[in-house]
Amino acid sequence: MISRYGRSSKNGDWWTCRDLATALLSLDQSGEEEAEAFFALGFAQEKLGNKREAELAYWKAIGVNVNHGKSQRSLARLRR
């Protein structure tokens, strides 16, 4: 699923990326993997123009891993 997300993001298919990230979140994962899946969901939502949903996903990533730098930077960027 992760490689498919990468291919979809390169093609700009953010709807598929959103769906794949959501599917990843339904799997049993480590904390870091879960934080990355929330970040991927947030990034896809951001690309789709869904700012509120993106922020929520980034916050969830930080809730799993308080030091998730990509989510912290993304939230800071969205607040500007």
Mean pLDDT of all residues in 23-38: 93
- Please determine, for residue 54, whether its predicted confidence score (pLDDT) is greater than 90: yes
Interior angle at CA 80, CA 50 and CA 35, nearest 5: 55
Q: CATH number for the domain including 45? A: 1.25.40.10
Neighbours of 28 (CB within 10 A): 6
Residues of the domain holding 70: 2-79
Q: How confident is the model at residue 23 (pLDDT cuts 50, 70, 90)?
A: very high
- Spatial CB neighbours of 8, under 8 Å, sequence gap ≥ 6: 14, 16, 17, 20
pLDDT, mean over the chain: 94
- Please determine, for residue 6, whether its predicted confidence score (pLDDT) is greater than 90: no
Amino acid making up residue 36: E
At 9-21, the pLDDT tens digits run: 999 999 999 999 9
- Three-state SS at 11: coil
How many structural domains are present in the chain?
A: 1
